[in-house]
Structure 1
Amino acid sequence: MTYAGVNRLLHWLMAALILGLLTLGYYMTYVADYGLYHLHKSVAVVVALLLLPRLVLRWFKPWQSTVKGKGAKAVHGFHWLLLVLLVIMVVSGAAYSGFGGYGIALFDWPLLAQNIDAQQQVVAHSAALSDWGLAVHIYCAWALCFTLAIHALAALKHHFIDRDGTLIRMLVGEKGARL
């Protein structure tokens, strides 16, 4: 598979997982369905694992924008903002769960054990750091939603107004954009 193919695969796989995580996170928060936290954290671990190669690829082979001039720097910065927000989401979620004593697992494989006392209650390692992680996680989630909405609108602008083939290339590759 080519670099472009790997990049497309990572982009769309992460897009689906991140949209699912944001939806699940919103649902868990506002419906208070705590039974879904295990799933949320497991999928977040998968996203974190996919984010690592995404960052490496972006660092060593920067993406080429169809936007030229001063706008190209803004587009480049915007894409980095998306990646930085994802890193902050992963770190803040891990801080909330880890410092809160809730542990982190990849489905049934524990990565960070829960901190349970003799009465089988979760005990925070640091309630202050856990609370900080939760607050950052929530605010960053809203910032990520806003940024992703702009990203999606920009993709639609490229497709319907600019007609430059960007969206088609991200869906099917360079050959599909020339059809």
Structure 2
Amino acid sequence: MLVLVLLAIVFVFGGFLVASGRYDLHPIRSGAMRPSFEVGGLAVAERVPTSSLAPRDVIVFARPGDPQDLIARRLLSLTHNPNGVIEVRTKGDDRPRADPWTLQISDRTSYQVRFTLPLIGVLVAWDRNGNGATGTYFILGGLVLIFLVMLWKSERRLESDGKHDGAAR
């Protein structure tokens, strides 16, 4: 029971972290980053200063030409221009060559992948309304809490039934 309580707390706290914008969750939908990230996994990315990025880091960004498609790629090189724009070359771990684009990042912050969770990305991908990650965390936390309440009520019912049976003897 303690494990379920802790799990509920983690999910609800995770929902608040995602809602705050400090972290973001991204389902892994392709094998471009294998073996580092498996399809169906969930990349947990932290908002960091773009100036702190270095080669070999993995970031999440909008695919050039398709701003609705967020992808994760490893940084091959970064070039800091005098105008404040950082030009970035990326590559999927499973790909033999660099991606065909050069990203130009002018934002002060970027999302750097910190770790992945296997198979959980399927749940986040299910909710595509833009708040899927946050919604999924709150839904999972809520379901765990509902389960805990049901479990607690059934234990109380069993305890009260046991006390009643003991008193009748």
Fold-level similarity (TM above 0.5):
no
More strand by share: 2
Greater C-alpha radius of gyration:
2
TM-score scaled by length of structure 2 = 0.32
Q: Give the alignment's TM-score, normalised by structure 1.
A: 0.31
